[in-house]
């Protein structure tokens, strides 16, 4: 449907429509893409980090997992991923936060609508004692991840560096295309019984 490049340190927003997918590509390697997601029809429903982690018993994101809203519904599914690990824990830098707020304000949202974000292409290792460290080299040039929108999702993105990374921001490429609705044997639907129920609740929203 369309393609676009987000330059290093820049922000982007779009309502990703139900039935479309966003493919994101790390052009040079070492990119970080901060992301927030809201239900466009009722933005008090938004991405919920704890609900996403505890429903799937994960502290990382990759293919087969989904992003939950606080209302028990699935905003996006991760249908493809060649990076293997995306960070849901470490949040954003000051530049990243300011970038989120500027983009949120364009849609009538406010700093109080900031919530925990995802960092695509970045990885944080957690040690046995809870210590967090940035994992260098997680994403190579050409790594890509695809998000299938399961609702009409206000998507707020920026390419500011990961808050624990020591390097400069990098660009990412975006491509939006139409996709088929998730089938009965969809990998994200079947990856956990919780996700099966999450898809049922999401489909009921449109019923």
Q: Which residues contact 197 (CB under 8 A, 6 or more apart)?
A: none
For residue 55, state whether it binds another protein (rule: CB under 8 A).
Answer: yes
Beta bridge partners of 76: 67, 149
Residues 175-194 close enough to bind another protein by CB under 8 A? 194
* Binding-site member from 4, 44, 177, 206 for another protein (CB under 8 A): 44
Question: For the CA atoms of 33, 47, 15, 152, what is the dihedral angle to 10 degrees?
Answer: 140
Among 10, 15, 95, 116, binds another protein (CB under 8 A): 116
| Nearest-10 crossing angle of helices 193-205, 49-56 | 130
- Report the distance separating Cα 80 and Cα 64, nearest Å: 8
Shortest Cβ distance from residue 62 to another protein (Å)?
8
Q: Applying CB under 8 A, does 51 fall inside the site for another protein? A: yes
Residues within the interface to another protein (CB under 8 A): 44, 48-51, 53-55, 57-60, 68, 70-73, 85, 89-92, 94, 97, 110-117, 125-133, 163-164, 194, 197-198, 200-201
């Amino acid at each position: 449907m369309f393609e676009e490049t987000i330059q290093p340190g820049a922000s982007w927003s779009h309502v990703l429509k139900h039935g479309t997918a966003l493919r994101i590509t790390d052009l040079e390697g070492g990119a970080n893409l901060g992301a927030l997601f809201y239900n466009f029809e009722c933005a008090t429903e938004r991405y919920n980090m704890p609900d996403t982690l505890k429903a799937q018993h994960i502290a990382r994101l990759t293919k087969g997992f989904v992003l939950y809203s606080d209302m028990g519904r699935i905003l996006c599914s991760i249908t493809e991923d060649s990076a293997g690990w995306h960070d849901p824990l470490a949040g954003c830098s000051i530049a990243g936060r300011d970038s989120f707020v500027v983009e949120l304000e364009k849609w009538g949202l406010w700093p109080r609508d900031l919530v925990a974000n995802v960092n695509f292409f970045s990885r944080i290792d957690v040690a046995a004692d809870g210590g967090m460290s940035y994992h260098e080299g997680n994403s190579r040039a050409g790594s890509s991840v695809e998000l299938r929108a399961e609702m009409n999702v206000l998507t707020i993105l920026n390419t500011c560096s990961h808050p624990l990374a020591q390097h400069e921001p990098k660009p990412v490429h975006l491509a939006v295309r139409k996709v088929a609705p998730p089938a009965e044997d969809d990998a994200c639907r079947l990856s956990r019984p919780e996700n099966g129920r999450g898809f049922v609740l999401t489909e009921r929203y449109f019923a």
